[in-house]
Chains A and B, each alone.
Chain A
Amino acid sequence: MNIFRAGKLAVAATALLGLAGGFVGVSAAAASQPAPPQTTVTGETYVIGTDTTFAPFEYRENGELTGIDMDLIRDIAANQGFTVEIKSLGFDAALQALQSNQVDGVIAGMSITDERELIFDFSDPYFDSGVQMAVAEDNTEITGYADLAGETVVAKRGSEGETFANSIKDEYDFTVKALADSATMYDDVKAGNSVAVFDDYPVLAYGINQNNGLKSVTEKEQGSSYGFAVNKGQNPELLAAFNTGLAELKDSGEYQAILDTYLEQPAPAAASGFFGLLGDSLPALMKGLGLTLLATGLSILIALVLGVLFGFFKVSESRILRGIAGVYVSIFRGTPLLVQAFFFYFGLPQLTGQSIDVLTAGVLTLSLNAGAYMTEIVRGGIQSIDPGQTEAGRSLGLGYVTTMRRVVLPQAVKIMTPSFINQFVMTLKDTSLLAVIGFAELTYQGQQIYAANFRTGETLLIVAALYFIVINLLTMLSNKLDKRFNK
């Protein structure tokens, strides 16, 4: 499994957190003060973070979280008499959440490494992984490393598979290219861009049994072990209970039964056609679409309020108000939305000690971001009105507010409306970025689906079509309303 299963997003987040921590002089370690000792787990409820989709350890089937990790943690909880509340956050996000104590433990097919042991406490290993090589089902030429000469293979970025492939590439004379996730790697092999893939044996075994169009051609290389983690010094009783429960499941044979379910005897999924996939995935995608629209609606409303407020600040005569609005706009236009999302979800809790739910963090990010653009739209709209209009109003004895309300704004709103509609569409599309903090909107649901069924292209096509339909319907509606009210 991936030793450094923390992609560039986590690196960005960690850098940001380090920065934020540095500002106020707290570090991740300081945020994790030892909790009051607790001797028993009985009757307790623990929040467990996990990856969104890392089949066969965790993935969704008919909307339910399932997989080796899920069965294991649930069975251990039942065995030891505690309850778990599982949060499917994504791998990077789950680790960040553990560091900021937003979750009590993480089980996410995570390799036990020296670096991670510096910041987390790990359980006894519960699974031994290893790297295996696979090729396309109809490929009869490549049966071992020796056949790779002059070819290109693919491995997951930052994974054990990549490390292993690089360690033998000179000996066997092949090139290694890195991609971000299993589903796209398998597509790459099927498309013929690479002849073989190096991936974790359990992932590969599961994928092959899901008819991903590949076959494995080598034995597994000895690899790392997976462990359950708690934050350093936190929840020792939970860690102890995990170890005890794991030992008991191994003794009773229940542990082996779980592994067999996913690795040895998976019922081969009947490959359904495009419409089968559409039917299967639509319920989850619709749920995601609902959250996308909810986050968009809330964010746009708040952004509108912010935009009007700061827009007026920007055209006011007070230098202080103009300054405040200027700083606000330059901060939120001058930093990437993704960094803002990480900051509000991971950074803020570390600074304030107050955890924040993903919808709140997402809406906060989007509304503050869109609010900055709205501010500029409002400012531009007001300033585009001939100053003679204000002068005429003021010379009649009307006050500033009345002149704004009756003379300037009615004309400015008409000019601003197309930009408002544009910002609305942008914000709707920007919600897809919240997938990285584990907000279960449309893109996130799509990623989950193709990570489990390996039908990347078709799934993304459906996701894109849903965005396209909704955005165009909403744009048409907005333009109609604009024509109707802004004649």
Chain B
Amino acid sequence: MTGAACALYASRAGLDVIVVDRGPVAGGTTGAGEGNLLVSDKEPGPELDLALLSNRLWGELAQEFGEAIEYEAKGGVVVATSPGSLTALEHFADGQRAAGVVAETVAGDALYALEPHLAPGLPGAVHYPQDSQVMPALAAAHLVRTSGARLLTGRAVTEVLRTTDGTVRGVRTHSGDIHTPAVVNAAGTWGGELATLAGTSLPVLPRRGFVLVTETLPRMVHHKVYAADYVADVASDSAALQTSPVVEGTAAGPILIGASRERVGFDRSVPLPALRALAAGATRLFPFLSDVRAIRSYAGFRPYMPDHLPAIGPDPRVPGLFHACGHEGAGIGLATGTGHLIAQVLTAKTPGLDLAPFRPDRFPEETP
């Protein structure tokens, strides 16, 4: 997704773009996650600023791509499960409002008017109308196609070519070299490996997540609904399993429940406890789901950085190398803003947001 957005904005900025991927379109984490474009889960700070910029840009793209990318501005409802968490949630929302987020506290009948099938007796919630969604794989495929960039799938980058003074001059793939003065690392969870190929380092690590998908249903869940403990979880540093089920109905019919968060490296086996926790969280919010069947689950590996912020912008250590990776559980949402900012720095414009918090060289150098 990130690479697709970079391609679109860069080619609209007048650049000649080639997209190289070792797999197919959306074959990485983009094809293994959900497409929530959330502002609701972000605390005030650089990530929220990027999310708000991205949110606006997604809205613009929606005008252009219409249904092809399944954009839906359905809004989010963050539910407090106890009076205490409602207070915490309202406090959190106050801060977000100051940063430009639209957030409305809802309780009682108003809450059940938004989501009639929620469990009875919930103390309240915050409604975030800006939360929206796309279908990530379709979005990536259509953005690449519309960008007019040359798409080279099935070609792995094996080396970043550099001149004797260290400046980037292209990439080597197993089927030939591609010469270019600028290389954007949008390799997601594998962004660290790509940085290594360019002779530098970037600490991107995998964080596993599972999503449960139910059978097709008539619309029963109208927004993105999740419990308030999600907010604490995103910023947490704990490696233990924490499940924060975002429950949402999709246009196609199934309900998606996700996602779990675990740091277990690239382990692909399916652990029942993680799936059970997702199901338990979802059925607590929506008791009717108990009788609904899960037909599948899928897993992906979010690209996460130690401080939970992506790396966006030029790498001062390697002239000509730009990074656009490490977006963790928000890479779909943040893709448009990231692509837009990357296009600005590629064309030597002043970026619309301060890139300092996203500097790729902000981490201490790894000593191998």
Partners in one complex: no
Residues of B within 8 A of A (CB): none
Interface residues of A (CB under 8 A from B): none
